[in-house]
Amino acid sequence: MDSFLPSPDCDTISKTYNGQIDSHLIQKTNEGYREILPNLPRGKGWMTEHLVQYQGVWLTPNFALKGLMWVHDHFKPRSTDIFLATFPKTGTTWLKALTFATVNRTRYGFADHPLLTTVPHGCLPFLEACPNDLDGFPSPRLLSTHIPYTLLPNSMTVNQSCRFAYICRDPKDVLVSKWLFMNKLRPKELAPISLEEAFELFCQGISHYGPYWDHVLGYWKASLETPEKVLFLKYEELKEEPSVVVKRLGEFLGHPFSLEELSKGVVAEIVKLCSFENLSNLEVNKSSVLKLSTQIIIDNRHFFRKGKVGDGKSYLTDEMIKRINEITSEKLLGSGLVFGS
């Protein structure tokens, strides 16, 4: 496997999030955005007033759609790039922490690790949230994205050997976690969304980067066709055997654990550092915020709720569970994919 250089430090990434946007670089994107936006179908938003449907995918207009267009217009991928791809609320925060700790395990000690003072999202930025030039990032660049595989430019999926680590989760848990999370970010002038309304929207596919099942299947099929480029993980398996999954992740990232590291318990230390119990109790994740854009500022504590498997059943009625299970069976029929461990 390749020997990778360390990822950018958190200070560099922070500057990427908060730096000044080059108006000349994104002028083309803004013009294209203004041209297509009025003609896109609209659906009710969870965090914003509405979502727009672009090439079959539901996106927030001012953030996700514009970010996607920027990626297509300006992003220059490298063959060494590594992307953590997720649908929102499927384990993004946890996977970011594990990946950052795995790749940088020889760079930082566990006693003074950046993850102790920086939310994982501050160490691995969202691609669609970074309109600045990323050429200054050393290789391999560690980035994350919610963009469905089918919407990624060919320069990322075909013409380069970029690698993607993807994690999925039972849709019932995704729905409930997303509903609770988005209501916390919903502007006060907009009435909260009820669980019943969120359920109907989710089943219709109207949710950020949805439909959920299409998002999952896109990366699942890519993992079957090019397993050396797409690693497909399940949240439930990560919860059940985190050390096993971390070792798989390290191997895939080109950063396999040596026998000496295994004997010294390095994997266990990474799992402990990145555990829900540890991260959720850190001061930075209790009192600080993450600024994704001028409009999107999130309290870090909102990224840590329960992190449990099966919690969705505590909120959904039997009828809701039956309907989601039926949709899931229909959508996944013949794919070979089954949710859960």
What amino acid occupies position 220? Answer: W
Q: Which residues are catalytic?
A: 146
Res 335 pLDDT > 70: yes
Chain centroid to Cα 53, Å, comes to 20
Name the DSSP letter for residue 122. G
Tens of pLDDT along 14-36? 444 444 445 666 677 888 999 99
Tens of pLDDT along 129-179? 765 667 778 888 999 999 999 999 999 998 788 999 999 999 999 999 999
For residue 211, cis peptide bond before it (omega within 30 degrees of 0): yes
Name the DSSP letter for residue 63. I
Domains of the chain: 39-332 (3.40.50.300)
| pTM of the predicted protein model | 0.88
Report residue 86: phi and psi, to 5°.
Answer: -150, 155
Res 280 pLDDT > 90: no
